[in-house]
Amino acid sequence: MRAFLRLSTLCLALTAPVGLAAHPHVFVDTGLTLIFDSHGQVTGVEVTWKYDDLYSLLILQDMGLDDDGDGVLTEAEKPQIDGWDMQWMEGYEGDLYLTDATGQPVALAAPVPLSTDTQDARLVSRHRRDLVTPVPAEGLVLRAFDPEFYTAYDLTLGVTLPPPCQAKVTRPDQDTAYREAQDLMSEFPEDAEEVPLLGHVFAETVTITCAPGG
């Protein structure tokens, strides 16, 4: 049923004029902090998710928290929500994808929950993804996206890493992205039970470069 609703929503959206196209249901401000070892290799990524107002409200209500509606969790409530978004289904990639300088996928370990709280009446959670094998920072590419585009991730909270390395964030051209999404939709069977994978089309790309010696 959920897949049908997603597909119906995208079909309606992508037949509309550009600017009224595919529309996700959950919006997450995202922050990435790269963790380095003493040899300058990347060993992990700390991920911050700040959920949109409506989704935060729905989750808090569903869990019976924040009865006074002020968007602030009490000290007694905080342990009840710790790790609420870390119960991942088998096969879920955590909506974070890395490739090394040669374009090969970088394997990530299971998430390590760090904290959950509220900020501006929005749920904010932090977790760490360790790399199965450390990789050089130079040329590393990171992308945060939901393949089904049910959730939209925006790197509003930035990318943090130590000098001399820097992160370049490339945002997709919206007109081009919508055209590509429409092309993908046109090739998708009308009777399909699954949704087309469009998240990568709208994803921002983070490319790491390091000065000599980085």
Residue 191: per-residue pLDDT: 62
Of the candidate ranges 119-123, 150-154, 182-186, the one whose mean pLDDT is the lowest: 182-186
- Higher confidence at residue 188 or residue 128? 128
Report CA 203 to chain centroid distance, whole Å.
9
Q: What is the pTM of this model?
A: 0.83
- Which of the four pLDDT bands, split at 50, 70 and 90, describes residue 4? very low
- Decide: 92 and 86 in contact? Cβ < 8 Å: no
Residue 171 and residue 177: Cα distance in Å, rounded? 10
- pLDDT, residue 180, reads 67
As a whole number of angstroms, the distance between CA 84 and CA 127 comes to: 11
pLDDT digit string (tens) for 53-84? 999 999 999 999 988 888 889 889 989 999 99
* pLDDT for position 46: 98
Give 89-109 pLDDT, tens digit per residue.
998 999 999 999 999 999 999
Tokens linked to 87: 């119960």
